[in-house]
Amino acid sequence: MTDARALDTLADFPAIPAGWSYLDTAATSQKPQPVVDAITRAYGETYATVHRGVYQRSADMTLAYEAARTRVARFIGAQPNECVFVRGATEAINLVAHSYAGTVLKPGDRILLSMLEHHSNIVPWQMVAERTGAAIDVAPLDREGRIDLDAMAAMLRPEHKLVALSHVSNVLGSVLDVARAVELAHGVGARILIDGCQAVARLPVDVAALGCDFYVFSGHKLYGPTGIGVLWGRAELLDAMPPWQGGGAMIDRVSFERTTYAPPPGRFEAGTPHIVGVLGLHAAIDYVDGLGLGAIHAHEGALVARARDALGRINSVRLFGPDSSAGIVSFAVEGVHPHDVATILDEGQVAIRAGHHCAQPLMAALGVEATARASFGVYNGPQDIDALVKGVERVTRIFG
């Protein structure tokens, strides 16, 4: 196991003061100085609109905007014309649900999800199922908290037209064997969408190698700005999908009699885009790639191992998920509500998440209302785990 101190990046993050342990990266990551600088520069020195102006600064910003799309594509092993900029993974999933699933599903068709999905990968499919007459099935988890692919294989049949699964659980940190899930879905003719929000900042992602049909993620969990995310889709699928929203930029020609639309990805980017967010995302990807996703995964794996070992020694602590989780540790303290755990930890300058984590069906399956969750980033080290454990021990003393 790589030493958890191998990444010495804390000085890169101006929003993390000395003595504060930020352990809520699964909710949103802190931003390194190069990302802050890129955003500041874009608003303060180089700002202009894109795809519209013929003056030089607008042309330069357009080049920078499209260079970011090329950078995103390279980051996930895709082609630029397959990468659509959206507000985040939630919008990306809604786009696919509306523009793809909403146009191909019919009564009798089925959608397959899993028990550990985020609400954003449940509710859009419920909405489209209600509209089209499709039905939803739910794959269970195995004993370690991973999606049970053997059970999924037994459930799948030709009526399934779409499968949507998380690459990494935002609660358990369990990692999906995407290649096998894709093989199973394609085996019955279903398309498969992968929610990569928790994966792209922790694991190398190559959509071509994974073989999925759609892949989505949010920039703010990748050390980038809020309000920007990416939908990747196979070119032939995007080409066949109608627009989701109408307005400027997504058109070819407009008349009152008829409107024709731009090819993807422009077809799905109505209105003035989040220009500065795109440039910030470019800087974030450069930062992460500079550290190396292999090194990040090993670093966070070492932190997970240290945290699970230390918390597991406290008799009243229950751990959830597999030992080999990707950067996330969920736990409960017997007899103490997770919100109280989080409040006491905050008094000791340790920031964690407490609640259902937008995964209420998973909470029900685990038999709890909520959990406490510590999630790690490149800025964390052993001192943060020590502070976490010290705080949990204080919780047990306070509540007896």
Measured CA distances, 40 to 94, 225, 343 (Å): 30, 12, 34
Give the tokens for residue 283: 């800087």
Tokens matching residue 165: 């699964």
Cα–Cα dist 147/167, whole Å: 10
β-bridge mates for residue 315, sequence order: none
In the three-class reduction of DSSP (H, G, I as helix; E, B as strand; rest coil), residue 204 is classed as: coil
Other CB atoms within 10 A of residue 212 CB:
26
Catalytic residue status for 358: yes
Question: Which amino acid, residue 231?
Answer: L
The SS3 assignment for 260 reads strand
**DSSP of 288-332, one letter per residue?**
HHHH-HHHHHHHHHHHHHHHHHHHHTSTTEEEES-TT-SSEEEEE
In angstroms, the CA 178 to CA 170 distance is: 16
Residue with tokens 């802190």: 30
Contact 321, 366 (CB under 8 A): no
- In one-letter notation, the amino acid at residue 150 is D
Q: Which of 83, 197, 212, 358 is catalytic?
A: 358
Among all residues, which ones are annotated catalytic? 358
